[in-house]
């Protein structure tokens, strides 16, 4: 019986994860285009290029996560503050991974983009979990 309950909870997450993935693709395309254009195209420092790309994506990400992914009934002001409280440390984690991966992988366009992708992966996982369980958590209903 416990296995059935777990299975149904896991199945219930599939649409949520699918919407998060789609929103993430849109958000990532915007941010990654900016990062690539600045880093590889204009030879801006990789960390600055990364920061500007993520800054552009924060607004897109919040709107998509609030309205489309988590379908939050909570006000945008309250969830916006919590969202910023999540994306700032997640971005700092992204920057740490980007820096470390840059050191390990070395210079070059392919290496820079691999480091960017490693940072993005850490950021994405962190933001999903924090949004799911804190920022846009479903309201707890009385039994």
Structural domain span for residue 60: 2-135
What is the total count of domains within the chain?
1
**What is the per-residue pLDDT across 54-87, written as a single tens digit (0 to 9) for each?**
888 888 999 999 999 999 988 899 899 999 999 9
141, part of any domain: no
CA-angle at 56, arms to 55 and 57, nearest 5°: 90
pTM to 2 decimal places: 0.73
pLDDT at 97 over 60: yes
Report long-range pairs for 99-105 (Cβ below 8 Å, ≥24 apart).
99/47, 102/46
Report which of residues 80 and 138 the model is more confident about: 80
| Position 69 in a domain | yes
Q: Kindly state whether residue 143 falls inside one of the protein's structural domains.
A: no
């Amino acid at each position: 019986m416990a296995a059935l309950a777990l299975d149904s909870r896991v199945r219930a997450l599939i649409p949520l994860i699918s919407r998060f993935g789609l929103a993430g693709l849109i958000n990532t395309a915007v941010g990654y285009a900016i990062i690539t254009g600045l880093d590889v195209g204009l030879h801006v420092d990789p960390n600055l290029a990364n920061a500007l790309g993520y800054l552009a994506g924060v607004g897109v990400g919040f709107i998509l996560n609030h309205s489309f992914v988590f379908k939050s009934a909570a006000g945008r002001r309250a969830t916006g503050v919590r969202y910023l409280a999540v994306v700032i440390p997640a971005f700092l984690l992204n920057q740490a991974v980007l820096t470390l991966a840059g050191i390990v992988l070395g210079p070059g366009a392919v290496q820079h983009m691999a480091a960017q992708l490693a940072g993005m992966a850490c950021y994405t996982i962190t933001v999903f979990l924090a949004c799911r369980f804190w920022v846009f958590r479903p309201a707890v209903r009385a039994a």
